[in-house]
Amino acid sequence: MQTTEKNFDAVVLEKFRVDENFDEPIINQVLRIAIYNELQAYETYTKVIEKFGETQPFVNIIEAEKRHYLALSHLLEKYNVPLPLNDYSNNIQIPNTRQECFELGVASEIENIAMYDNLLLYTNGYSDIQDVLFKLQAASYNNHLEAFRQAVQQSYTQKESPSLHAAQEQLNEFQEMASKISSGDISQQEVMKLLNSANFSFIGGALLGAVSGAIMNEMFKSKPTQENEKNPQEEIKS
């Protein structure tokens, strides 16, 4: 999947956000951005494994990324949207330690969740695309992010980091808020308390995407599913 060619919409793809002023149909942008991001995750996690060996959770998650790519590629084929070129393989720098790789995984999944928040804004009228994006976002929020978060925690078992401890408390507080938002049991005062927190800088603006990600996941859980239906668009938990 390596290539030396250049994507015609590289700027849009690299931002992972739809550009309404770009001369390309919106739904094409949605699909190309989504699969381009999954390619980035796949290539990054592959490089980590090449450098550090069969390291969890990268081994499990990279298999999930393959399924994500497959589900999206079927949609691109259905809507006659050209696949973006995979120009990541030779342009990815991997951190020097496993611990930093775990932290990179957390950041990557947070960005992935925020990306799907943006893309889903443009999927009205495309229920099949919307369903797949919901499922992929839910996988990142419920499975991948949690797996990397736990890996970061475990990497500090022998050496406690005050900054990480503070950040973890902030992440736990955020996750509790996401749960409240999903159930509608939260006040505006509580929201402002978290957003004004000094430690929120660790999470970064992208983590705000996980709030609506939690809501979307609840919506997905409530949607009826067809029994015995098997297709490559179904997300299989990592």
Give the per-residue pLDDT at 37.
95
Q: Mean of the per-residue pLDDT values for the chain?
A: 76
- Looking at residues 160-185, what average pLDDT do you find? 58
The predicted-structure confidence for 117-150, as pLDDT tens digits, reads as follows: 999 999 999 999 999 999 999 999 989 989 999 8
- What CATH number should be reported for the domain holding residue 113? 1.20.1260.10
In which domain, by residue range, is 22 found? 10-159
Give the per-residue pLDDT at 216.
38
Give the residue, 157 or 17, on which the prediction is more confident: 17
For residue 2, is it within any domain?
no
Q: How many domains does the chain have?
A: 1
For residue 213, is it within any domain?
no
For residue 119, is it within any domain?
yes
Q: How confident is the model at residue 156 (pLDDT cuts 50, 70, 90)?
A: confident
Its pTM stands at 0.67
* Residue (of 50, 43, 42) closest to 89 by Cα position: 43
The predicted-structure confidence for 77-88, as pLDDT tens digits, reads as follows: 999 999 999 988
